[in-house]
Chain A
Amino acid sequence: MSEADPGAGAGAGRTTDAHSDLYVVGQEVPPPSDVNDTLVVGALVVAGVCAIVFPVALFLGLPLVVYGGGLAVGLLALAVAVRRYFIAAYPEINAVQPRESAAASEDLRASTPVSDVRRVARRSLLGRALVGVAGLFGLSTLSFVASLGPKPSDELARTSWRPGARLVTGEGSPLRPADVGIGGVATVWPEGAVLVEDSAVLLVRLSNRRPRPPTNLDWVVDETLVAYSKICTHAGCPVGLFREQDSVLFCPCHQSTFDAARGAIPTFGPTARALPQLPMDVDDAGFLVALGDFTEQVGPAYG
């Protein structure tokens, strides 16, 4: 009987602790066993190997039997390790808990409360190895995230603009320089790639200011018509507003402000990069065309 057990005196009635505490009525301390320790280590090695086989096989596109088998065998090996480890590390306990309706009876008070049961002092390395391998295994099961999407190639580095691609409206009709009047703006797309997000372009007709460097003047048509990527370089919103009197492009999301007469460099707000300018010219039929893809990164930065 534990000295600290409250209300354990002879003849005491129901004790406050009796409802929640357990009493050990049988306790068997396992004998130290090298065989058992070897089993734990062996199972942990298998589980560790499987923790590597599963993600690697999945990544290499090996058959289901390989990665599925790795996952299955790993889980089973981990089960063996946990079981063998606990059998040796803790005493086998039989405990009695009084049901709510009854107080602990006299014979129970002579037993040890379960909170006094201690772990068997054994090799602590085994426990650490178990936790380590279990953690490794848990991490390896997360490798399924690689299946959620394709491996990125150059999608983010390029857009749909090609040499000779006409600038068309959302309805797909090509534009002549005269279609954008003084102080006018139009959202345009490459022919054949209407509504492709990263290819949206703002066509701006400057009125009271002439474009000057860092604007690439070779890509300006009629001396006042310039084209910039519409995707804000801060957080990727469409730069939707044009203030004619000072030729300013303005993003409604976080108020990044670009000077359309000076290569759309940022003049205010949170963005750090200019809107890329579209290489633009007029083809033989008199329609606006691109000379090629943007030469700078379109839209926000990526890692």
Chain B
Amino acid sequence: MTPLFALLFDSLDERLRLRAPGRKVVNKVFPEHWAFLLGEVALFSFVVLVLTGVFLTMFYTPSVDPVTYTGENPLYRGQVLPGAFESIVRLSSDVDGGLLFRRIHRGASHLFVASIVLHMLRVILTGAFRRPREINYHLGIVLLLLSFASGFTGQSLPYDLLAGTGIRIAYTELLSTPFIGDRLAFWVFGGDFPGTDVIPRFFTFHVLALPGLIVAVMTLHLVIVARQTHTQFPSARVDGHRQVLGKPLWPSQFHVSTTLVLWLGGVLTLAAVLVPWSDEALVAPYLVGDITNQAQPEWFMFWLEGALRIFPPVEFSLLGMTVSGPFVAGALFPALIIALLVAYPTIEKRFYGLRGDWHVLQNPLEIPLRAAFASGFFGFLLLMAAAATNDILSRLTSVPIEAITWFFRIASLVLPPAVAVLLYRYSSARLRRAGLRVARVENTADRA
């Protein structure tokens, strides 16, 4: 510490008493495993999203009012475009560095959602959701949903063809809600589709409400992680139930995280240079009645899109309400999926009669129910996501789209349960062979 810095720190310390709490913060242990960095990747992508997002908001116009584009992009010069789309063309073609920052923002958004999904997968597979960490598991699900909402609203803001199509489907979903659908849709859209309010409102959600919520929930999530100490994989060197072994925040984890931030920034920038993230979406502004041939949403919406595509044609009246396919496949189905995700820790706890606190991570193959749940649940979602590409699959394989859709209808009902049962049996047999049973209480001393 240079004398000047020491002096500054001392004078601050006299007033704020930083040393003791500072030492407490620095004295955190981070167990070493690459999968433990997935959450950090999500955090750092979020930071990149905020930084680049601030730049983008300086140029973006949240409006659908027609504007004549007068910039340098030859494709659109002189054309009348929706204000939002025009501002993005201008940002990409006429502002130095605009395209780079826009691409980094897009790339970081993919990484943000992907790292959250993978982080959740790690938590579920290794059982990090068990008591006392159920709260953080549920906060994580909230963050996942917030990241979906951020991704969807962000993807809508350019108001290009694909965005307009996505917004139209979201409108349909709101409309499909029994009894209150029409009212709900008008609340969100400020009237009938498309109207002029949806883009300004999505903008407010995307740059104010959602990031604010994400910061709040993320902070809570991290405070709880620090408070509860980190889980860890079983190790012969330490009693994982009572102690945690790893790298201290200073200096070891600090340099791991700093390096990670820089690598992420570098890779995202490099990707932005090499990959035209979503530039192709600028093929045309959204005009009512226009659509592209392939209408796929962002990848993290595929599971919802797939459900809409393969759900059978249903529309009937019941107790005075209209129940439609989009409502069942686009609203009930995801609600059920989320509910299952939320409930799983409780289900596992009841199923095995688990007691006490758990800090040591497990191989999912040692917990048959979890092996069955993870494979069946995520297998099902993967099939749904694959079904969102039925048009592309049909073109690539020359199999008629009807046959492919029927394949997904049957496969999604048969394959996931079959895989789940298989894995349940395999894991149980594996445990039996080793002469083990699923433990009800964590006692690492016995195991070691």
Spell out A's residues near B (CB within 8 Å): 20-22, 25, 58-59, 61, 64-65, 67-69, 71-76, 78-79, 82-83, 86-87, 89-90, 92-102, 105, 108, 114-115, 119, 144, 146-148
Tell me the bound Cα distance from A76 to B258 in angstroms. 11
Binds A, one of B109-117, B239-247, B280-288: B239-247
| Given A59-B96, A75-B263, A83-B255; 15 other pairs, CB 8 A cutoff | A68-B269, A72-B267, A79-B259, A90-B251, A92-B252, A94-B247, A95-B29, A96-B244, A97-B28, A97-B229, A100-B229, A105-B239, A114-B27, A144-B101, A147-B98
Is B105 an interface residue, CB under 8 A from the partner? no
Q: Is the CB of B100 within 8 A of A75?
A: no
**Do A22 and B245 have beta carbons less than 8 Å apart?**
no
Q: In whole Å, how far is B433's beta carbon from the nearest beta carbon of chain A?
A: 32
Cα distance, A93 to B246, chains bound together (Å): 8
> How far apart are the CA atoms of A105 and B98 in the complex, in Å?
57
Question: Contact partner of B245 among A25, A59, A105, A146, CB < 8 A?
Answer: A25
Please tell me if the beta carbons of A75 and B266 are within 8 angstroms of each other in the complex. Answer: yes
Question: A71–B262 Cα gap in the complex (Å)?
Answer: 11
* CB neighbours of B28 from chain A (8 A): 97
- Shortest distance in angstroms between B95's beta carbon and chain A's nearest beta carbon? 5
Q: How far is the CA of A84 from the CA of B254 in the complex (A)?
A: 13
**Once the chains are docked, how many angstroms separate the CA of A290 from the CA of B237?**
90
Q: For window 257-289 of chain B, which residues contact chain A by CB distance below 8 Å?
A: 258-259, 262-263, 265-267, 269-270, 272-273
Q: Please tell me if the beta carbons of B270 and A72 are within 8 angstroms of each other in the complex.
A: yes
Chain A residue nearest to B271 (CB atoms) is A72
Q: How far is the CA of A21 from the CA of B28 in the complex (A)?
A: 8
**Cross-chain contact B97 with A99 (CB below 8 angstroms):** no
A98 and B259 contact, CB distance less than 8 A: no
* B residues in contact with A94, CB < 8 Å: 245-247
Inside 8 A of B270's CB, which chain A residues have their CB? 68-69, 72-73, 76
Q: Which residues of A contact B23 (CB under 8 A)?
A: 20, 115
By a CB distance below 8 angstroms, the chain A residues around B206 are: none
Number of A-B contacts (CB under 8 A): 127
Q: Tell which of B99, B238, B242, B247 touches A93, judged by Cβ atoms closer than 8 Å.
A: B247
Please state if B247 and A82 are interface contacts (CB–CB under 8 Å): no
A97: chain B residues within 8 A (beta carbon): 27-29, 229, 243-244, 246
B24 located at the interface, meaning its Cβ lies under 8 Å from any Cβ of chain A in the complex: yes
Q: What residue of chain B has the Cβ atom nearest to residue A115's Cβ? A: B23
28 A-B Cβ contacts within 8 A?
A20-B23, A21-B27, A22-B27, A25-B238, A59-B96, A64-B100, A69-B270, A69-B273, A72-B270, A73-B266, A76-B263, A79-B266, A86-B255, A89-B251, A90-B251, A93-B248, A95-B248, A97-B28, A97-B244, A100-B228, A101-B357, A105-B242, A105-B243, A115-B27, A119-B251, A144-B101, A147-B98, A148-B58
Contact string, B59-99, partner A, CB cutoff 8 A, digits 1/0? Answer: 00000000000000000000000000000000000011111
Residues of B within 8 A of A64 (CB): 99-100, 273
Closest CB of chain B to A13's CB: distance in Å? 15
Contact of A75 with B262 at beta-carbon distance under 8 Å, contacts A58-B97, A147-B96 already known = yes
Shortest distance between the CB of A298 and any CB in chain B (Å): 27
When distances are taken between beta carbons in the complex, the residues of chain B under 8 Å from A96 are: 29, 238, 243-245
Residues of A within 8 A of B258 (CB): 82
Q: In the complex, what residues of A have CB within 8 A of residue B251's CB? A: 86, 89-90, 93, 119
- Distance (whole angstroms) from the CB of A116 to the closest CB of chain B: 12
